[in-house]
Structure 1
Amino acid sequence: MVYEIVTSLYQGQTARVEGRSAEGTWWWILLPGLQAHCWVAGSTVQVSGDTAGVTIYEAPPTPVPACWAWNPQQQQNVCTSPCPPDAQPGGACSP
């Protein structure tokens, strides 16, 4: 499971870097015009300027995956998180 994609940037579009991951592989940016932040993979952007003093942030844990599992009391599949070990393979869901 990975993080939800919240937006995208166009080639040539700029955003202010306000932090980075400890490994330096992800940047914490301020989204232009939205006054919101998100992580962007360092491999997908070109950073300019001095980033030596950029704050190091710890990323939140990835969401716990959910799956459809049979609920005998309800006699139907229900979206459950985390997935129980006896869950049958199927599509992911959001509880």
Structure 2
Amino acid sequence: MTVDFAAETPNESSAEASYETSGEPNGETSTIYTVYLSAAEELIEHIRAADVLNLGFRVESYLVSPDDAPDTTQTEFEFTLLNELPVRVEERD
């Protein structure tokens, strides 16, 4: 499995893929757990574990300014483990 990290966050006007699941009646997957990580290596370990277990996951990244250095930012990650893999739905124009 290859994991690529974007150098910049895409702007909101860019097209986003939509995902559906088949397991839950309301179309949403249930969350097994959510963890907040500050290192990309930890994130990759979680992604690999989800892949081995054939579970879905969602990753969100955000910038945080530490209290001791407000002029700098660091990237942190929110990793959510899902009970199943989301199914990608291709939108056609």
Query: What TM-score results when the alignment is normalised by the length of structure 2?
Result: 0.23
Greater relative contact order (CA < 8 Å, ≥ 6 in sequence): 2
TM-score (norm 1): 0.23
Whichever structure has more strand as a proportion of its residues is 2
